[in-house]
Amino acid sequence: MKSLKLFFLAIACFIAMAATAQQPQSKGQMNSQKLATTLYLIENFYVDTANIDKVTEDAIIAALKELDPHSAYISKKDVEKANEPLVGSFEGIGVTYQLIRDTITVISPTAGGPSEKVGIMTGDQIIKIDGEDAFGKKIDNEYVQKRLRGKKGTKVTVGVKRGSDPELIDFEITRDKIPLNSINASYMLDNHIGYIKLDRFAQESTQEFKEAFAKLQSQGMESLIFDLRGNTGGYLNTAIELVDQFIDEGKLIVFTEGIHSPRQEWRSTAAGLYTTGKLVVLIDEGSASASEILSGAIQDHDRGVVIGRRSFGKGLVQRPFNLPDGAQIRLTTSRYHTPSGRCIQRPYEKGAEDYAKEMEKRLKHGEYYHADSIHFPDSLKFKTDGGRTVYGGGGIMPDLFIPVDTAYNSKLYTNLVRKGALNRFTTDYALKHRDEIKAQYGDFDNYNKDFVVGQDLVNGLKKAAEDAKVEWNDEQFNRSEKFLLLQIKALIARNVWETQQYYQVMASSDPGVQKAIEILNDNKAFNKILSNK
């Protein structure tokens, strides 16, 4: 704190000297001095002891809120955490876990990771961490991550309860770098259509995509569904690299502009892996930023068919600026534009609160259910390479609209998810019956083909609902029954195998995937959309 006082004293001295010299000042200099003087006065003359660090942070946060919805302040302790999902790895023990009844339950150890190497198994319950009890109401995700993550090479001891054995098994685990994959699923839907779901545009996403693509190509893929639904974005460079896989050399991918940032363009190279095969891109209201750059470029160049619902509309470019204490400001410096010139960013002039309610407003206006509830003014018309009309004004409007599945609408389903009953029930079931399921079905393909969610599982879900204080309503269950039973099957598959198997089970009733398959199998319909004839 002493050094901080000296710093502000120096600032005050500088101000005094500037005033004495009576030299003309720019507005920027004057405002900087006003802020520094204010902090100095609070630190040295305020009636009570002030937390000057907090005052400074609050002032920065308040200032950024006045600019736009995406400029942000990130404290020193949160910088690494904020970057982690995009960097593509973290350092820890390598387990996927869930908190089930206030207990850390291992869903699966990371293949080849430090936990698997020492013998941690699916279903193990971590009861002690470094000799301290690690269960009960104090346990949350922050508690777990703080104790199990750590620098590569450091060690942690865990006491594990396995099965019905009352004795804990102690494991000493040496932490290591754990990869975070950004592709959730890649598999063949049939003999010629491949499917890849990208969760975020991370540092290693391009390489992951190339590997997934090569695998599907070796299995006979002729057409591709690239699923960006719920993908909130990530690195600009990764978005550019992935667009580059789909379009011919020399075409504009995206450009950015801002008052202090001259126009900058990115164009495709000759490196594309898939520049001619049939392509569908799936988007929805959760697809943002880098997802909109990719889907906008594909649409503007008539390279593939975009299916789903209007995307989020996040087209502001944030540049990170490091502060002296290790904190960071992510300041909006320019806007993204698609190749046709469309600005991706939706309006935010009415303030942050109004901006945050955009999805709620879309729901009220019926946009999630009816494409004709979305209106674009003629002033926002743009043309694709082939002369098709597309619209700016925020987000990417798909070529084919898919309404929200009304099966999600039952209050029963919403409450089962919101209160964690569905997840806890399917996780418990998978942990108890994993060996039995694998012995009976052998592999996932047989499970997917033959496993039926019977009345015993429905009764189990009813009991889980009762335990979670979710009121069971037969009329609502009947409305959501088909979807809910498929969710049970898919969630069990995810817990017995991997995340990919969840998507494989759900594909059979996924309206977006099914419409994509229909269009890819109909050359006339596919070409008609892209030619606009």
Strand partners, 265: 255
What's the token pair of residue 248? 């011919």
Q: Is the dihedral of CA 52, 55, 57, 59 positive or negative?
A: negative
**Count of residues in the chain:** 533
Distance CA 481, CA 108 (A): 29
Q: Which residues are catalytic?
A: 289, 300, 314
Torsion of the alpha carbons at 188, 95, 452 and 483, rounded to the nearest 10: -80
Place of tokens 């204010």: 38
Q: Please classify residue 344 by burial: count the beta carbons closer than 10 Å to its beta carbon, then call 0-12 exposed, 13-18 middle and 19+ buried.
A: buried
**Structure letter (DSSP) for residue 142:** H
Closest CA to 421 of 472, 479, 455, 456: 472
Residue type, 358: E
Q: 179: helix, coil or strand?
A: strand
Distance CA 444, CA 104 (A): 26
| Buried b or exposed e, range 174-193, using 16+ CB within 10 angstroms | ebbebebebbbbbbebeeeb
**Structure letter (DSSP) for residue 378:** G
What's the token pair of residue 38? 């204010």
